[in-house]
Amino acid sequence: MAETRLESEVEKVFEHIKNGDNFLLSGGAGSGKTYSLVQVIKEAITQNPMAKIACMTYTNAAVKEIEERVNHKNLRVSTIHDFLWDNIKQFQKELKKSLLILINDKEYKIKNPNEESGEEYINKFEYGISYKEHLNINRGEISHDEVLILANYMYKKYKVLCDILKDKYKFIFIDEYQDTSPFVVQIFLEHIQQSMRKCIVGFFGDTMQSIYEDGIGDLNDYVRLRVVQEVQKKQNRRNPQLVIELANNVRVDGLLQVPSKDNNAPNMNNGLVKQGNIKFLYSSNNDLDKLKKTKYFRGWKFDNPKQTKELNLTHNLIAPKVGFSELMNIYDKDPIIQLKNEILKKIKKEKIVIDENATFSQVVSLVPAKNRQGKLKIDLIVEDLDNKQLYEQLKDIPFSKVRKIYLDKDSLIDDKKDDKGAENKNGSKRDDLIKHLFKIQLLVKLYEDKAYSEFIRKTEFKIDSITKKKEIKAIIQEINSMSDCTIEEVIKFADKKGICKKDDKFNKFIEKNEYIYNRVKRVKFKEFQKLYYYLEGYTPFSTQHKIKGAEFDNVLVILDGGGWSNYNFEYLLNDFISSTLDKNKQKSYPKILLRTQKIFYVCCTRAKENLVVFYHNPSQLIISKAKEWFGEENVCEC
């Protein structure tokens, strides 16, 4: 079998390795960065058969993909968090000492249980420090964020750790570097340089796809100082010509892509790059259902989420389209919990002392929150009858209990799949009420799909006779007919019939979160059913952040900020808007523009065949910019 020839970019990488230099392989969307990473790993093994190699990436799915492509006893593939933890966990004495220092140092932002009293935190951590999905400082249990902070501190403080790491690994490769925490980059490009041992560190990624706020984004400072040597990979194997040209208009880092010269690349056809189709559509109304029936979407299959995607900026924009707005409003826009959070911020900022027996209403009076016009927010909230009823539930409860009520949209919508065949990730943030509802609906789906073996494993219902088989069929049919019943009615029915019993986790959640349960239990079950099918990947909808790394034949991008101030699509398409902004907005303009450029770039480069971008009611300046980027013939009012 003929050996696979190394890519020219990989050959350049090994020139830098030969010189003992760290390197950065930069490649745009669809350039085949993972293929290059695999080639680098294989060639490093070939040239150094006895050397140990570490490869870190962002997700467990990516770990699995790399492991499937390269199988070697000296290769360790893991997530960044797992790799760092495995290399510091045995140093418990140093871990305990470091964690105590970091807890008491406000600069590092590790939660101090004594923060409100201002006392120094002291703990012997008798059972040691352990890495969990959750954070419990008193028990020495740290989560993802703390692992990074701790590792960064320890590699900076203890040179011996740097020696051990470099002795163990000759090569350390980091995939999707742009999403990596600055703490991680500091460890591998600054702290371990204390050690004189030899070790090559290589990064793979794309600065234009750094769309998460906690990622480093780029390595420009390190490249400028020649701490790393950059190799650019300019080919594009995914997108058709028109999408490549559009994406090049959006890029701001100087890396301009060209179609691959490989005739076997997905975007090639009979030796020529596919042209593809791009459209910028706009209208004065926002009727997307009507729009999807026009000629611009002929041949698109919105019922096939593997082939077609509609990308919105936020889950809040998607919720009304799918049909789970009420649940979304509970978890993301509860007015009473928002008020409570503002009061907590004010208490902390102004160091207000609250009597431990004070009720929520007494604290609201003591620490009045106001809007910009100086009106009391509580007055504005209780003007609405529904909001007033919510406030009545909590006003006489001790504030010490109310302050612990936690509502976050991740508790509802975390762990969304791109399609129904995708795997669930580890450590879902969904709360135990939502997880319980998922169990019920999953059982229904398994039965309907005739996945009886898995159904039997997941249900408490014992099917040991023909009668029981008939009974379970009737139960499933009954649950399916309960769409207009409340969530509470369905939970009680599933528990009574034994198909999904209320377990300790569910009961404990209800006991501690009565307010949340009282809100959710009244929602119709069909809302949760719609949520379930959305999160399990049965719909064409996805948020723009979630879609990174995926690709589809047809992509519809909705340019609607949804009120999220971190992004502004008008900034993206209006070159003159910055001059019209006030001073405060002018300060934030560059960061917001860059974020918006990157999310737009990621969205557009998902398309393998057809790309449609929709903008509601744009100005003439925006239309002119769209014509410049898309071509006049591809900008249409509809």
* Known binding positions for ATP: 27-34
SS3 string, 60-123, reads: HHHHHHHHHHCCCCCEEEEEHHHHHHHHHCCCHHHHHHHHHHHHCCHHHCCCCCCCCCCCCCCC
Tokens encoding 544: 């723009």
Residue 400 burial class via C-beta count within 10 angstroms: exposed 0-12, middle 13-18, buried 19 and up = middle
Q: What are phi and psi of 202, to 5 degrees?
A: -125, 140
Q: Percentages helix, strand, coil for the chain, rounded to the nearest 5?
A: 50, 15, 35
Residue 373 CA to residue 578 CA, distance in Å, equals: 27
Exposed e or buried b for every residue in 220-252, given b needs 16+ CB within 10 A? eebeeeebbbbbbbebbbbbbbbbbbbbbebbe
Is the Cβ–Cβ distance between 527 and 331 less than 8 Å? no
CA distances from residue 334 to 330, 358, 405, 417, 450 in whole angstroms, order as listed? 5, 22, 11, 26, 39
Contacts of 360 (CB under 8 A, 6+ apart): 340, 394, 395, 396, 397, 398, 399, 402
Q: Rounded to an integer, what distance in angstroms lies between the CA atom of residue 131 and that of residue 601?
A: 36
Q: CA-CA distance, 492 to 270, in Å (whole number)?
A: 60
**Cα–Cα nearest to 491, from 466, 523, 514:** 523
**3-state secondary structure string across 430-459:** CCHHHHHHHHHHHHHHHHHCCCHHHHHHHC
Binding site per annotation, positions: 27-34
Q: Are the CB atoms for 147 and 84 separated by under 8 Å?
A: yes
The angle subtended at Cα 178 by Cα 102 and Cα 417, nearest 5°, is 95
What's the CA angle centered on 401, arms 397 and 405, to 5 degrees? 110
Contacts of 281 (CB under 8 A, 6+ apart): 291, 296, 612, 613, 614, 615, 636, 637, 638
The residues pairing with 231 across neighbouring beta strands, listed in sequence order, are: 25
Asked whether 545 and 557 are in contact (CB, 8 A), the reply is no
Is the CA virtual torsion 430, 434, 436, 441 positive or negative? negative
